[in-house]
Chain A
């Protein structure tokens, strides 16, 4: 499988003729469009916003004219109102952003600025934790609005301040590796980004999780200078980049599942690219216009690209040497956890990390053979479930029984389906089961 050259710096792509900006590029509420068709917009102008705390602002990423507001599929396949902007090619920033006043001059300034002001900037810039179903960063960094009810009776403090920040420079799903190409960017931007993340969250301890066996000397040097701890994470044992498992292995704290999140145990985990985004927002005073994005799999020139948000994925693939053949697959995300899209017009959003392409003949098919009880899935499940049993229960519609066997704790990593010799569609069963359980509980 051709992989992108790992350490090469991202290749910038020209801005497309039209950008498609979905009003929801995160997990949470949909933003309201603030423009009408025919409006002139400039780069960085807020075109979507919401009063809901769980929503992130959406900015125009090119200057030009709003052509239409339509319903479009986003990478997860749902229909989302999308603003289409025709690019005038001028790349003009709006007035206040052309010479931003509130840009930070230096690293020292981060320490002098109040955390609430830093958080406000992050919120205005509409940053999203860069991962599939990423939450708006300001939500992720703020303390929960109310004590989490699932923590009662568990022995875990119900309110616990965040004391550790883990910056993960490892990639979640190997051939798709935006982080690997950023390992060289160990300049001020990263230092400011991490410092700001630590200041906002209140973390005293910063752990930089570096992939082992990859040259990251620049990052290590920066870490030494800034007094961050570094941890080397082996990239061979998938799913090494899962947040909960990483928190467990790096801090020894166990995130309560299925509802818990790292901040329940006083940790916040942020990808390297998010830290860089925060750094560039604070230093430039402007929102992020681009996404570093990796294209892997069966394309002619796999690689890491820097593309404008809102570029249709099809255009990125063209730049990488063409899309898949008939009945192939285009997966947003990696081969193990990504989502297959059905429309090449689907735009690149803030959550997108990469695209994995498969040609028609290479698409794998599942079989409907019964489970042979071989136990290979049990041996690989990273959260110690018994996938074989869960799969059988979900297959035979015994969803509540499956929930009793901790179905909801499954992280959908796909390991069980990968090793299953009977080629059972394990993750499909488990996901379906989870949806049914949720639907059943909603009804009650």
Chain B
């Protein structure tokens, strides 16, 4: 009847414009402020660390795709994002092999072993991080004193604030609390710029690329557990902190310190390893928040939030069982 061939396929006939590539690209854009803050304070050593991690992750992915004879997925930027995250949580100026091994482990151990994107149970970046932290604790703990660009050529090693705090609670008074939010303290390349991370995270929430329940849960968990922890810590009471406001200040400060923000907004909501249901994601976040504070007060001084994320990753299949009620599903016998 007509010569013009028509295409036939199932509905819907229009699709949203979010693709994997655009989603990962936006996540990287959201990380940009944190990256810039990190580079401002840590300069060349920070840049080298990040670049090595990204490059190593990409090369690993390429080689693995050759070995497995599968099309390479470099095009959708997922691996680049993972490498970037790996670089951002490492100490700036780490020995060159640390980010290289980190990038390799992220892709090989974290993702490919389980079947690539969509199949891994744990956040690959944190799997690699855990492997590094266990294998080379000294190298992973060697942080630099932040220095604005151009203010000197010598990088001084420093302990992160949380390490000092663990040893001596008095640090709390010596340290300007605001610096914790500005990023002016020792830490991973991209983990210290708290405001920057928060801004990027809020951007992701607004763009609906991560569920809002997760960071909210994490904030509530950390805030609540933080208050409990502060109240029960005798050392803080001895210092003369008594009012609620003062306690709140300490907690506020805990939210900004360490890797909490990057875990709450970037590593926790990593799609594959976090739950999909609304309540599941909220509980996931809550768990991350609780773990952060618990580990900081009663465990090792570093990176409780990462343990929190890994632990909740393990609980994800369970959390996914908490489902909203299906509309129209009438309960039998009710």
Contacts and interface: CB of A to CB of B under 8 A. Distances in A.
Do A and B make up one complex? yes
Interface of A: 77, 153-156, 244-245, 248, 254-258, 260, 314, 323-331, 333, 335-345, 356, 358, 360, 363-364, 366, 369-379, 382-386, 388-389, 406, 409, 412, 414, 417-423, 425, 427-428, 431
B119 A370 contact: yes
Nearest to B115: A370
Contacts of B6: 324, 327-330, 340-344
Nearest to A428: B10
B271 A153 contact: no
A244 B327 contact: yes
B327 A384 contact: yes
B117 A372 contact: yes
Contact of A326 (B5, B10, B277, B278): B5
A341 B8 contact: yes
B208 to A, nearest CB: 7
B208 A376 contact: yes
A335 B16 CA distance: 12
B9 interface: yes
B327 A254 contact: yes
Nearest to A406: B326
B333 interface: yes
Q: Binding site of B, secondary structure by majority: helix, strand, loop or mixed?
A: loop
B12 interface: yes
A364 B14 contact: yes
A154 B332 contact: yes
A409 B277 contact: no
A335 B271 contact: no
A339 B116 CA distance: 35
A60 B234 CA distance: 91
Contacts, number: 191
B326 to A, nearest CB: 5
Contacts of B19: 421, 423
Given A245-B327, A384-B325, A342 B275 contact: no
B14 A336 contact: yes
A384 B4 contact: no
Contacts of B275: 375
A383 B326 contact: yes
B217 interface: no
B329 A418 contact: no
Contact of A328 (B7, B22, B211, B326): B7
Nearest to A327: B7
Contacts of A323: 2, 4
B15 interface: yes
A195 B46 CA distance: 75
Contacts of B208: 376, 379
B327 A374 contact: no
Contacts of A255: 328
A372 B271 contact: yes
A419 B278 contact: no
Given A374-B276, A388-B276, A427-B12, A344 B2 contact: yes
